[in-house]
């Protein structure tokens, strides 16, 4: 019998580790959700993605909360209470992702991801 | 429209020539590299063909350099008729930013990748000896593929709109370089990191050539300085990226596990594994097959990562918003990735595995020797890279499987990677004490024992220090960290444990440096870089783990106080200065360390949707910590948009009730100086204010204060007697975030030590070029064999 157990052991260990890592990522990943999914989800790190209704932005000076409405792909609208750091480009944002959780039918968020269409690769052409 | 175009200058002939030349050169690149491939393929049969292979490669590379020169000249000469130049530069950019703008877009960064790869090819190829033929062929194929991508997505497109009446006109300026990129790091970080990426191709082609030449022995000694250089340059590039983020982006951190960061991190870790694998092979003559794989992995993972970040699959999960590539170019990139992967796997399976069995020495006797510890750390390093790659791929895999996107957040990376990090750090401390000859665990333990004792003792002191904020380091005592998804412990203790690992590794490596200084300075490079890693990680862990963070809202009349800091605005900025790139605000910040003046940058650029604010953080450095102050753009308008009111209308918008009673006109209609005086009532939280904002033709109106607000009359509608009103904050509100980041100095120190170690190692391992023919195949195998018998100089000195 001349089977080398070392490599087999290593292989099994590595396989188990990779499965473990994948499982950990899959189980804990923060999904991008729609409004109805966010309402059902109990997680506090869901990524709610939608288009910003610019007319709905409200700035509560006293409490430093910015409130706005976000419309998802299904057309459902959620009211977001955002209390995170101030943003530069909220006005120019078309799509944004609010990270947080649903609480009393409002989406409470401290972090926004903003994609500005004109930031890196604009569609505008020179005016001539 | 027409008359404006007449005033624009016509494009100079040189610029139009440079554009055409650029396009032609890209095609020439492809042609020359294919000629080189044909030459090298036929070289064994006819000697003249080898010449074609070499010359073709040289010419192909030169065409790439010239293409880059063409693009650079267009940027330098403000040739905004080119779409790419228009999109990434503007006329009044400083020269260094014009250079940075070249690679700020998709096409330019691909061109930079190609140029950097070609530079390395030209330096490395003459030193590849007997491997040169099979080194050059895949390399040329790769560069030709990059050429094809550049031919699809050329940066030399002229904007169709500037062609008028058969003339090509030059727009006065372009859209400009994204302000966040206008920073000195952006001038040096991308070339450094792309040089690192370019060097990965050398490792890949060399290992491929080692398999195709059926000689997996000789390449190990030859490739080693390249592996060191590659890891050092890529590592340097990664760190520069982190420092750039810290100094300019206002996140308050160095590293965020962003997909773009991971794309460089994964190849770097595999490169580190390769370095250690090469040491095993050159000393013990084993690990042959693994090295062949590890030589290819950094490049393969980089191509995969490039595909991920450029394909648009990562979409919302990256802070870097990349434009999606054109489909054609994306297919070329995907084809390139798949072809390299399949080709590499096929060569490995058909020849690499057999070679590994044929040439491998009998495995070591086991026990606590350096080889087994290196093997273990290589498994851990590969797991670290693989885990990061899995995390980075999750959004992509998830959108393939379930058509939906997921994101992996920073804490999850930390949770998962800790499992690999902890044993790796222990190995970092222990391995320097192991020798190549098996010692037995007991002997190793007796060597490490002193180091362990000292580090446990120092960790005790560190913990004492961390628990006593009054001694200078004001760490958050109440924060908790979830370990292994189950155990909730105070962050301070978890950080103390991680610091223990760093101390263990630091002291172990210092111990070995001191010993080696006397006996064999050649091995110092490794220990120094390991010391650098330990110090660097200590800085990263302390500055992130024990960070404190609070938000402030400051106006001219109301300072804000939190976390022991008080922030006061000395004066509002003057409006005329706000468009100056170098404009800085002035805040007096009083904190535990006394008072300093924070000068975060704020300025506006004219954008298509009105002025766009741009901010820079202020970093106040102290011996034990940084105070990092990130200011957001000031809030001025309370309502997002001006609102139209009919006379007598009363409306509540954002909790403020405004009544517009109408307006009076002062002066003659249609003449300058005519004023309209509005009559407005503002109600907010039980308080009521009357105000008379004015709107004047040809001069600024007044915005009277109404409680917390100012009300402005921004437009008059004569037909309805209505008006547009806007509410502003009475004073601009400056949102500020202060991060208290302990021990950031260690991050810089560690980076410096690591870089020093890398260059020390490369310096002692540099090889002289070998001429082909001098090193015969058999010859070199025997050569390296005989040298392998001698245990490496890395063997430690016995400790008394």
B607: confidence class by pLDDT, cuts 50, 70, 90: low
| B351 touches B211 (CB < 8 A) | yes
CB contact (8 A) between residue B415 and residue A115: no
pLDDT for B460 equals: 94
The answer to whether the CB of B570 falls within 8 A of the CB of B588 is yes
Residue A57 in contact with partner chain B when CB distance is under 8 A:
yes
B641 touches chain A (CB under 8 A): yes
Task: Using the Cα atoms of residue B75, residue B78, residue B83 and residue B86 in order, give the sign of their dihedral.
Answer: positive
What are the chain B neighbours of A89 within 8 Å (beta carbons)? 612
**Higher pLDDT among residues B296 and B576, named by residue:** B296
**Where does CATH 2.30.30 sit in chain B?**
647-720
**Bridge partners, residue B483, by sequence:** B487
- Largest Cα span, chain A: 83
Please name the residues between 81 and 110 in chain A that touch chain B, using a CB distance below 8 Å.
85-89, 91-92, 95, 97
Closest chain B residue to A30 measured between Cα atoms? B407
Answer yes or no: do A4 and A60 share one domain: no
Residue A120 lies in a domain: no
Is residue A109 located within the same domain as residue A57? yes
pLDDT, residue B730, reads 80
In this structure, the answer to whether residues A20 and A83 fall within a common structural domain is no
Look at residue B6 and tell me whether its pLDDT is greater than 90: no
The better pLDDT of the pair B232, B277 is held by: B277
Nearest to A119 by CA among A91, A98, A100, A82: A91
Question: For the packed helices B524-545 and B491-519, what is the interaxial angle rounded to 10 degrees?
Answer: 160
Does residue B484 have a pLDDT over 90? Answer: no
User: For residue A128, what pLDDT is reported?
Assistant: 37
Give the 3-state secondary structure percentages of chain B, helix then strand then coil, rounded to 5.
55, 20, 25
Return the residue of A nearest to B406 by Cα: A31
Confirm if B626 and B646 have CB atoms less than 8 A apart.
no
Reported as a single tens digit per residue, the pLDDT across A57-77 is: 777 666 677 888 888 878 888
Closest partner residue to B609 among A24, A47, A92, by Cβ? Answer: A92
Q: Does B249 touch chain A (CB under 8 A)?
A: no
Q: B694-696 and B675-684: which strand pairing? A: antiparallel
Neighbours of B642 (CB within 10 A): 16
pLDDT of residue A50: 84
A99 in a structural domain: yes
* Residue B563 φ/ψ region, left for φ over 0, alpha for ψ in the -120 to 50 degree band, beta for the rest: left
A17 and A67 in a single domain? The answer is no
Q: What's the number of domains chain A is made of?
A: 2
Q: Give the pLDDT confidence score for residue B250 in this predicted structure.
A: 77
Set of chain A residues whose Cβ sits within 8 Å of the Cβ of B323:
120-121
Q: Candidates 1.10.10, 1.20.58, 3.30.70, 1.20.120; correct CATH number of B1-177? A: 1.20.120
Beta strands in B425-502 (DSSP E): 480-483, 487-490
| Residues B168/B10, Cβ–Cβ less than 8 Å | yes
Percent of chain B with pLDDT over 70: 90
- Residue A64 belongs to a domain with what CATH number? 2.40.50.140
Pairwise CA distance, residues B65 & B143, whole Å: 12
Instruction: Give the three-class secondary structure for B449.
Output: helix
Write out the H or E segment, with its range, that includes residue B753.
helix B744-765
| Confidence category of residue B790, pLDDT binned at 50, 70, 90 | very low
Q: Which residues contact B84 (CB under 8 A, 6 or more apart)?
A: B71, B105, B107, B108, B155, B156, B157
Of A61, A88, A122, the CB nearest to B175: A122
* Buried/exposed code over B1-38 (b: 16+ C-beta within 10 A; e: otherwise): eeeeeeebeebeeebbebbebbbebbebbbebbbbbbb
**What is the residue range of A103's domain?**
32-115
Please indicate, yes or no, whether residues A57 and A2 belong to a single structural domain of this protein.
Answer: no
Q: Enumerate the H helices of B581-716 as residue ranges.
A: none
- Residue A2: the pLDDT is 46
Tell me which fold the domain B647-720 belongs to: SH3 type barrels. (2.30.30)
Q: How far is residue B176's CA from residue B460's CA, in Å, rounded to a whole number?
A: 53
Same domain? For A39 and A85 the reply is yes
Q: Is there a domain that residue A62 lies in?
A: yes
**Cα B278 to the center of its chain, rounded Å:** 28
Q: Are residues A14 and A75 in the same domain?
A: no
Q: Tell whether A96 and A58 lie within a shared domain.
A: yes
Q: pLDDT at residue B776 above 80?
A: no
Q: Which residue from B312, B286, B439 is spatially nearest to B375, judged by alpha carbons?
A: B286
d(CA B683, CA B661): 14
Note whether A32 contacts B: Cβ–Cβ < 8 A: yes
- The model's pLDDT over B162-208, given as tens digits with 9 standing for 90+, comes to 888 888 888 888 887 777 777 778 788 889 999 999 999 999 999 99
Whether the pLDDT of residue B620 is over 80: the answer is: yes
Q: Is the pLDDT of residue A78 over 50?
A: yes
Query: For residue B782, what are the contacts with CB-CB under 8 A and spacing of at least 6?
Result: none
Give me the residue from A45, A61, A91 closest to B708, CB to CB.
A61
Smallest CA-to-CA distance from B540 within B293, B246, B778 is with B246
A56, pLDDT greater than 70: yes
Whether chain B has a CB inside 8 Å of the CB on A7: the answer is no
pLDDT class of B640 with cuts at 50, 70, 90: low
B181 close to A (CB below 8 A): no
Q: How far is CA B719 from CA B46, B457, B697, B772, in A?
A: 91, 83, 17, 90
CA atoms within 13 A on the CB side of B136: 34
Pair (A92, A109) in one structural domain: yes
Cβ-nearest to A85 among B412, B608, B735:
B735
Give the position of tokens 């007697």: B721
- As a whole number, mean pLDDT of residues B127-137 equals 93
The DSSP element (H or E) to which B390 belongs, if any, is: helix B370-402
Where are any strands of DSSP class E within B51-156?
A: none
Whole-number Å distance between alpha carbons of B594 and B565: 9
Cβ contact (<8 Å) for A92 and B612? yes
Given a cut of 90, is residue A3 above it in pLDDT?
A: no
């Amino acid at each position: 019998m001349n089977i080398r157990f070392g490599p087999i052991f290593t292989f099994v260990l590595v396989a188990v580790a990779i499965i473990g890592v994948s499982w950990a990522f899959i189980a804990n990943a923060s999904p991008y959700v729609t409004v109805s999914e966010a309402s059902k989800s109990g997680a506090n790190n869901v990524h709610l993605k939608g288009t910003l209704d610019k007319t709905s932005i409200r700035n509560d000076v006293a409490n430093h909360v910015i409130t706005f409405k976000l419309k998802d792909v299904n057309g459902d609208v959620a009211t977001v209470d955002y209390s995170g750091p101030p943003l530069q480009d909220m006005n120019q944002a078309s799509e944004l992702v609010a990270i947080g959780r649903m609480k009393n039918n409002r989406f409470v968020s401290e972090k926004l991801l903003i994609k500005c269409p004109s930031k890196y690769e604009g569609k505008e052409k020179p005016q001539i | 429209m027409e008359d404006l175009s007449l005033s624009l200058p016509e494009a100079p002939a040189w610029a139009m020539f440079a554009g055409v030349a650029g396009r032609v050169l890209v095609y020439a690149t492809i042609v020359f590299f294919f000629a080189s491939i044909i030459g090298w393929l036929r070289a064994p049969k006819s000697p003249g063909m080898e010449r074609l292979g070499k010359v073709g490669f040289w010419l192909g590379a030169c065409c790439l350099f010239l293409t880059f020169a063409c693009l650079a000249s267009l940027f330098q000469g403000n040739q905004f008729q080119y779409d790419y130049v228009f999109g990434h530069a503007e006329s009044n950019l400083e020269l260094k930013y014009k250079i940075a703008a070249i690679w700020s877009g998709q096409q330019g960064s691909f061109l930079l990748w190609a140029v950097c790869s070609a530079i390395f090819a030209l330096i490395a190829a003459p030193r590849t000896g007997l491997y040169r033929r099979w080194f050059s062929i895949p390399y040329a194929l790769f560069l030709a593929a990059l050429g094809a991508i550049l031919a699809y997505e050329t940066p030399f497109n002229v904007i169709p709109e500037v062609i008028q009446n058969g003339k090509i006109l030059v727009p006065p300026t372009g859209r400009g370089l994204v302000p966040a990129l206008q920073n000195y790091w952006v001038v040096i970080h991308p070339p450094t990191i792309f040089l690192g990426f370019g060097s990965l191709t050398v490792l890949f082609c060399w290992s491929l050539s080692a398999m195709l030449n059926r000689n997996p022995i000789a390449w190990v000694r030859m490739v080693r300085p390249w592996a060191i250089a590659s890891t050092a340059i890529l590592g340097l590039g990664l760190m520069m990226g982190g420092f750039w983020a810290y100094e300019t982006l206002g996140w308050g951190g160095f590293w965020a596990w962003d997909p773009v960061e991971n794309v460089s991190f994964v190849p770097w870790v595999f490169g580190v594994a390769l370095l250690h694998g090469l040491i095993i092979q050159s000393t013990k003559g084993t690990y042959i097959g693994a090295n062949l794989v590890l030589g290819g992995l950094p490049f393969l993972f980089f191509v995969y990562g490039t595909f991920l970040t450029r394909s648009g699959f990562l979409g919302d999960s990256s802070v870097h918003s990349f434009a999606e590539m054109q489909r054609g170019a994306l297919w070329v990139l995907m084809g390139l990735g798949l072809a390299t992967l399949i080709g590499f796997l096929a060569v490995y399976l058909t020849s690499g595995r057999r070679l590994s069995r044929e040439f491998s020495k009998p495995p070591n006797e086991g026990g606590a020797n350096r080889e087994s510890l290196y093997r273990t750390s290589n498994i851990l390093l590969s797991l670290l890279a693989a885990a990061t790659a899995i995390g980075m791929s999750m959004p992509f895999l998830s959108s393939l499987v379930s058509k939906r996107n997921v994101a992996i957040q920073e804490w999850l990376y930390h949770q998962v990677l800790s499992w690999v990090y902890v044993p790796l750090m222990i190995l970092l401390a222990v391995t320097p004490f192991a020798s190549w000859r098996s010692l037995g665990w007991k002997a190793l333990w007796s060597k490490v024992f002193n180091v362990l004792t000292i580090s446990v003792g120092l960790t005790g002191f560190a913990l004492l220090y961390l628990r006593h904020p009054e001694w200078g380091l004001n760490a958050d005592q109440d924060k908790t960290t979830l370990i292994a998804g189950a155990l909730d412990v105070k962050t301070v203790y978890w950080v103390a444990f991680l610091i223990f690992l760093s101390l263990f590794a630091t002291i172990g490596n210092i111990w070995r440096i001191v010993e080696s200084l006397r006996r064999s300075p050649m091995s110092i490079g490794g220990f120094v870089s390991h010391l650098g890693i330990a110090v660097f990680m200590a800085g990263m862990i302390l500055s992130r783990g024990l960070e404190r963070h609070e938000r402030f809202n400051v106006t001219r009349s109301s300072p804000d106080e939190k976390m022991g800091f008080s922030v006061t605005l000395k004066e509002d900025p003057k409006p005329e200065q706000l468009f100056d790139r170098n404009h800085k605000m002035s805040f007096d910040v009083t904190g535990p360390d006394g008072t300093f003046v924070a000068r975060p940058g704020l300025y506006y650029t004219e954008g298509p949707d009105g002025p766009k604010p741009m901010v820079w953080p202020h970093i106040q450095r102290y011996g034990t910590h940084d105070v990092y102050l990130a200011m957001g753009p000031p809030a001025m308008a309370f309502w997002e948009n001006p609102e139209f009111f009919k006379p007598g209308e009363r409306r509540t918008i954002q909790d403020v009730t405004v009544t517009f009673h109408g307006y009076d006109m002062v002066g003659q209609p249609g003449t300058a100086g005519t004023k309209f005086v509005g009559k407005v009532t503002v109600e907010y939280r039980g308080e009521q204010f009357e105000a008379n904002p004015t709107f004047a033709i040809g001069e600024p109106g007044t915005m009277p204060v109404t409680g917390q607000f100012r009300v402005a009359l921004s437009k008059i509608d004569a037909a309805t007697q209505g008006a547009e009103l806007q509410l502003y904050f009475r004073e601009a509100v400056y949102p500020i975030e202060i991060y208290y980041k302990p021990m950031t100095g260690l991050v810089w120190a560690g980076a410096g030590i690591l870089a020093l170690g890398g260059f020390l190692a490369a310096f002692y391992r540099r090889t002289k070029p070998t001429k082909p023919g001098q090193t015969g195949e058999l010859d070199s195998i025997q050569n390296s064999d005989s040298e392998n018998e001698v245990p490496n100089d890395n063997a430690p000195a016995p400790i008394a």
